[in-house]
Structure 1
Amino acid sequence: MLLVQNIRLSRILRNTWKVDLIMIASCTGAYLIREYLIAHHFEIPVIIPSLLGTAIAFFIGFNNNQAYDRWWEGRKIWGSLVNDSRSFARSLISYPSGSDEISRRMICRHIAFLYALKASLRGATDEGLSKYLTDEDILEINSQSNMHNALLNIQARDLQKLSQNNQIDGFRFMDLNQMLVRFTDSMGMSERIKNTVFPTTYTYLTKVFIWLFVVSFTLVISQSAGVYSIFLGWLIGFVFVSTQINGMSLVDPFRNNSSGVPLNQITRAIEINLLEMLQESDIPEPVRAINDEYIL
């Protein structure tokens, strides 16, 4: 997630340089075609790039709105996980009477659940979860395809043990179980965003329309601007392309890049909070911003 208000031009150019080269080549080709093939035969109507520009504005507006909705929903889901995790740990510390061994194990397992969910959303393997699990837990979750869901199943069994041992009453059992249900909901909503592909027709047609617009605009403007139409065509196309790429960077909010939801920071913050609530001495450091510009 970006932390600064101003984005460096170099970062924008790193994201768009390939498209920039294609646009420059297209503008150059359009200028040469107009200059040496069609200049003395007919003129390109000005209304063509005008209509294409209007269509592009609608497509980019739709794409960016939908992309931001996906990003914001992902951020809200993990914001809820932060609050629910703190409440879950607080209840496990305060509710049970007698030995706190099961409660401590459940809180540590919850940290592992968050790391497993984060690794799944980012398509990575997170080694940080193993230190919070017993050998039996690791053996069980490794036999299942959905590790984070398997961890919730183990949590439910331990919660049942607390009830059977009379360490919590029925009302507190229902309260803790409801929190497990909320974790399942957050997990499912995150997976839904991750597994739902953004309609490729919108992104594809937007790219095609931008290319057609750049070519037609260069053909029209070259009638009065001459060779400078190559630069002007690229400049106008750069505005559309950079706007479209900016929106598409939010389509997958859990991607491990500067535009994604900062899952590393969020999971580490929850980990620190829960370990402090357990009065542990080995507390990890918070995730720091990279170059004071963004955080992952």
Structure 2
Amino acid sequence: MLLKHSLPISQIFFYTWKVDLMLLGCCTVVYFLDTYWLKAQVAVPLALTSVLGTSLAFFIGFTNSQAYDRWWEARKIWGSLVNDSRSWARSMLYYNTTTDPVLIALVRHMIYRHLAFIYALKTSLRKRPDDYYTRYLTQEEIIDAQKESNIPNAILTMQTRDLQLLRDAGTIDGFRFLELNQLIVKHCDSMGQSERIKNTVFPTSYVFFTQMFIWIYVIMNTLTSVESIGAWSIPFGWMFGFIFHTSHLNGITLMNPFHFQPMAIPLDHISRNIEINVIEMLGDEPVPTPVQPRMDGLYIM
């Protein structure tokens, strides 16, 4: 997630240099094509680029709006996970009435196991190799969880099983059992909502046709400006193309809020904050250090 309100020019061109070269190449080819051949064949009306530019702006605006909705929904889901995780740790600590050291150890392990769920869900959403979640599971639990295709769901199954065990042992009463079980349901809901965003592909037609229309606009805009400004149509064509392409690229980046890239949801940062909060509630050491921003405070993962 970006932390600053402005980006360095170098960072902007780092992400757009390929498109910049393609735009300059396209405008140069169009300029020479119009100068030495097309100008004698047909004159492109100026009104064409005006209409196309307006239509293109609507296309890009709609795409970016829908992309931001996906990003913001993902952020709200993980914000709920933060709150539910704190509630889970707090309730597990103070809702049980047992003095049995075995059951007390099980309660603490269930709190730590929730951290395994958070990190396993993060790994599942990002599709990056990461076994950090295994440090909060026993070897037997690791084997059992990895037998299933959905490791976070397998961990929630373990939580439900042991919660029922605590209920049968009389450690928690019926009302507290229902409340704790409802928290597990909330964890499952957040997992499912995250997976829905991850697995639902943004309609390809919007992305494809918007990109195609941008290139048509760049070509038409260059053609209409050659006669009036000559070779200056090349940098001006690049400038207009840069504006539209960068705006569209911004929306494309937000379409996948769980990807490992600077504009995505900071899953590393959120997961580590949950981990810190839970360990501090338990009074254990060491407490992990927060995730630090990258690129001189430009973004955090």
Report the equivalent of 2:183.
179
Structure 2 distance, partners of 1:8, 1:26, is 26
Structure 1 distance, partners of 2:62, 2:263, is 19
Q: Structure 1 counterpart of 2:200, which letter?
A: T
Report the equivalent of 1:18.
18
Unaligned runs of 5+ in 2: none
Report the equivalent of 1:61.
61
Structure 2 distance, partners of 1:270, 1:211, is 45
CA deviations 1:42-68 (Å, max 9, x no partner) are 311111111211121111011100100
Paired-residue identity, %: 49
The answer to whether the aligner puts 1:250 opposite 2:254 as a matched pair is: yes
Name the SS for the 2:59 alignment partner. Answer: helix
Q: Structure 1 counterpart of 2:88, which letter?
A: F
Report the equivalent of 2:85.
85
Structure 2 distance, partners of 1:93, 1:110, is 13
Q: What are the equivalent positions in structure 2 for 1:147-158 lying under 5 Å apart?
A: 147-158=151-162
Q: Which of 291, 295, 299 in structure 2 is aligned with 1:294?
A: 299
The answer to whether the aligner puts 1:108 opposite 2:104 as a matched pair is: no
Report the equivalent of 1:75.
75
Q: What are the equivalent positions in structure 2 for 1:1-296 lying under 5 Å apart?
A: 1-98=1-98, 99=100, 100-290=104-294, 291-296=296-301
Q: Quick check: 1:95–1:168 contact (8 Å CA) kept in 2? A: yes
Deviation at 1:29? 1.2
Deviation at 1:7? 0.8
Q: Quick check: 1:12–1:242 contact (8 Å CA) kept in 2? A: no
Q: Structure 1 stretch 99-108 or stretch 192-201: which is displaced more?
A: 99-108
Aligned residue-pair number: 296
CA deviations 1:137-165 (Å, max 9, x no partner) are 11110111100000000000010011000
TM-score (norm 1): 0.98
Name the SS for the 1:3 alignment partner. Answer: coil
Structure 2 distance, partners of 1:21, 1:94, is 61
Structure 2 distance, partners of 1:234, 1:161, is 66
Deviation at 1:30? 1.1
Name the SS for the 1:288 alignment partner. Answer: coil
Name the SS for the 1:249 alignment partner. Answer: helix
Structure 2 distance, partners of 1:20, 1:222, is 20
Structure 2 distance, partners of 1:34, 1:233, is 14
Q: Structure 1 counterpart of 2:90, which letter?
A: R
Q: Structure 1 counterpart of 2:105, which letter?
A: E
Structure 2 distance, partners of 1:10, 1:204, is 28
Deviation at 1:40? 3.0
Q: Structure 2 counterpart of 1:66, which letter?
A: Q
